[in-house]
A and B are shown apart, each in its own frame.
Chain A
Amino acid sequence: EVQLVESGGGLVQPGGSLKLSCAASGFSFSGSAMHWVRQASGKGLEWVGHIRSKANSYATAYGASVKGRFTISRDDSKKTAYLQMNSLKTEDTAVYYCTSPLASGNGDYWGQGTLVTVSS
Chain B
Amino acid sequence: EIVLTQSPGTLSLSPGERATLSCRASQSVSSNYLAWYQQKPGQTPRLLIYGASSRATGIPDRFSGSGSGTDFTLTISRLEAEDFAVYYCQQYGSSPRAFGGGTKVEMK
Would A105 and B96 count as touching, CB distance under 8 A?
Answer: no
Q: B54–A97 contact, CB under 8 A?
A: no
Contact of A61 among B57, B96, B100 (CB under 8 A): B96
A37 to B88, CA, bound (A): 13
The secondary structure that dominates the B interface is loop
B50 at the interface (CB under 8 A from A): yes
- Do residues B57 and A107 form an inter-chain contact, with CB atoms below 8 A? yes
Q: Does A45 contact B45, Cβ atoms closer than 8 Å?
A: yes
Q: Which residue from B44, B56, B96 sits with its C-beta under 8 Å from A97?
A: B44
Pair count A-B, CB < 8 A: 52
Q: With both chains docked as a complex, state the minimum distance between the C-beta of B76 and any C-beta of chain A, in angstroms.
A: 19
Point out the residues of chain A lying under 8 angstroms from B37, CB to CB: 45
- List the one stretch of A16-24, A84-92, A108-116 in contact with chain B: A108-116
Are A64 and B51 touching (Cβ within 8 A)? no
* B90 contacts A by Cβ under 8 Å: yes
Q: Give the residue name and chain of the B residue nearest to A59 (CB).
A: B95
In the complex, A96→B86 CA distance in Å? 18
Q: Are B99 and A50 in contact (CB under 8 A)?
A: no
What are 26 inter-chain pairs, A to B, with CB distance below 8 A? A35-B97, A37-B99, A44-B88, A44-B99, A44-B101, A45-B37, A45-B39, A45-B90, A45-B99, A46-B99, A47-B90, A47-B96, A47-B97, A47-B98, A47-B99, A61-B95, A63-B98, A64-B96, A105-B50, A105-B54, A106-B50, A106-B57, A107-B47, A107-B57, A110-B45, A111-B44
Please give 4 more A-B residue pairs, beta carbons under 8 A apart, in addition to A35-B97, A61-B96, A64-B96: A45-B102, A47-B90, A47-B96, A107-B47
